[in-house]
Amino acid sequence: MSTIEVNKITPVSGGTTVQVGESGDTINIPAGATIANAGTATGFGVSLANGADNRVVTASSASALNGEANLTYNGSNLGVNIASPTMIAGTGMHLTSSGSDCRFHISNNTVGDTANDGAYLFMGSDGALGLLNKENADIRFYTDGTQQATIDSSGRVGIGLTPSTSVNSGKLQITGDSSDYLIRLRANNNTHADTKMISYTNLSGSIIGYVMSNNNNTISYLNSSDYRLKENVDYDFDATTRLKQLKPARFNWISDETNTVVDGFIAHEVSDIVPEAIGGEKDATETYTDDNGEEKTRISPQGIDQSKLVPLLTKALQEAITKIETLEAKVAALESA
């Protein structure tokens, strides 16, 4: 084997490249040998690269990859800023940070090309996992190639659809078909104990209502009714007069193609009698944007909670029972006279 010993190889006059060997040759570098950057300028380093895929073997400078201290591969896992990348199971990339947060920044040639843009997957200093989109755009979740859930830039969540931005569209919007339940709640016990399935709270966190169930298939829809929350309690009021003002009706819904007749009330006809049973304003409308991007107007319907009529019905029935009992007592007195 021939040996050439030199202290320095320089390009020919006017050149910038030194070529060692020809295409197809194998250049062997002995174990322990170092290729070093002898310069002092920042912004460049020394690297060995495979011309086929430009694979960097090692490099060292202020701006280049700083060798195995920052990027390692143990034959299974790729580590960034960690000497011994690990996985709970399988193989993958282990990214860590010397600071309080560890972030993975995603961008493209349209958005996210600055430090404060794009999207981040990060581990916070408190151990929380975060998904951060710095753009004014959605976060979308796909399975089987289909968009299944979306969080838009206003915090609206859509499951089975892109959330609507129309008035009163809601923060959580769910769509589906008749083959499945849109929401399924399951109590985490097999006893007959009551389980609060849904709670409603005010801004201070106090519960104002809840849906409760137990293993007897009993479901209760409850409003707060604790005496400690009430004042000016009055048991003496005229329920019969107000009851007679109610107008029970029979009708069918316009959207019901079967024209099924149902019993009920017209909301605005109840609002002056039992106002707490009615929500919304008579003849109110709202604007919305349809699927074609056109702004349109639709009704903003009033609603009724017919359970709120129960106290009035109960009091009116008590008044009727009192009158019946009074008449029965008079009849009994006449018959015994």
Q: Which domains does the chain have, with CATH numbers?
A: 49-133 (no CATH), 139-228 (no CATH), 239-336 (1.10.10)
Look at residue 261 in the predicted model and tell me its pLDDT. Answer: 95
Residue 295 is given by DSSP the state E
Provide the mean pLDDT of the chain. Answer: 82
Percent of the chain with pLDDT strictly greater than 70? 85
Range with the lowest mean pLDDT among 30-44, 163-177, 243-257, 320-334? 30-44
Amino acid at 305: D
**Spatial strand order in the sheet of 102-106:** 102-106, 119-123, 129-133
- Signed CA dihedral, 67, 71, 77, 83: sign only: positive
Beta carbons within 8 Å of 23's beta carbon, 6+ residues apart: none
Select, from the ranges 87-96, 180-189, 230-239, the one with the highest average predicted confidence (pLDDT): 230-239
Cα–Cα distance for residue pair 157/74, rounded to 1 Å: 41
The pLDDT tens digits for 44-54 are 444 555 444 33
pLDDT at 5 over 90: no
Comparing CA positions, the residue from 304, 281, 292, 307 lying closest to residue 168 is: 281
Cα–Cα distance for residue pair 84/198, rounded to 1 Å: 46
Look at residue 57 in the predicted model and tell me its pLDDT. Answer: 47
Higher pLDDT, 330 or 41: 330
Cα–Cα distance for residue pair 277/57, rounded to 1 Å: 74
Beta carbons within 8 Å of 214's beta carbon, 6+ residues apart: 187, 191, 192, 193, 194, 195
The pLDDT tens digits for 59-110 are 444 444 444 456 777 778 888 887 778 888 888 888 888 778 888 888 887 7
Q: What is the DSSP string of 233-245?
A: ------HHHHHTT
Where residue 16 falls (left for φ over 0; alpha for ψ -120 to 50; beta otherwise) is: alpha
Cα–Cα distance for residue pair 264/250, rounded to 1 Å: 6
Look at residue 192 in the predicted model and tell me its pLDDT. Answer: 64
Select, from the ranges 63-77, 111-125, 204-218, 264-278, the one with the highest average predicted confidence (pLDDT): 264-278
Look at residue 42 in the predicted model and tell me its pLDDT. Answer: 46
What average pLDDT score do residues 133-157 get? Answer: 91
Q: How far apart are the first and last CA of the chain?
A: 144
Whether the Cβ atoms of residue 266 and residue 282 lie closer than 8 Å to each other: no
Select, from the ranges 65-69, 113-117, 125-129, 212-216, the one with the highest average predicted confidence (pLDDT): 125-129
Segment holding 262, helix H or strand E? strand 262-264
Burial environment of residue 179 by CB neighbours within 10 A (0 to 12, 13 to 18, 19 or more): exposed
Look at residue 283 in the predicted model and tell me its pLDDT. Answer: 96
Percent of the chain with pLDDT strictly greater than 90? 32
Look at residue 63 in the predicted model and tell me its pLDDT. Answer: 43
pLDDT at 221 over 80: yes
Q: What is the DSSP string of 164-208?
A: P-STT--SEEE---TTS-S-----S-SSS--EEEEEEE-TT--EE
Higher pLDDT, 5 or 205: 205
The pLDDT tens digits for 240-292 are 999 999 999 999 999 988 989 999 999 999 999 999 999 999 999 988 877 67
Look at residue 311 in the predicted model and tell me its pLDDT. Answer: 96
What is the chain's alpha carbon radius of gyration, rounded to the nearest angstrom?
A: 38
Q: Which two tokens stand for residue 138?
A: 């959605």
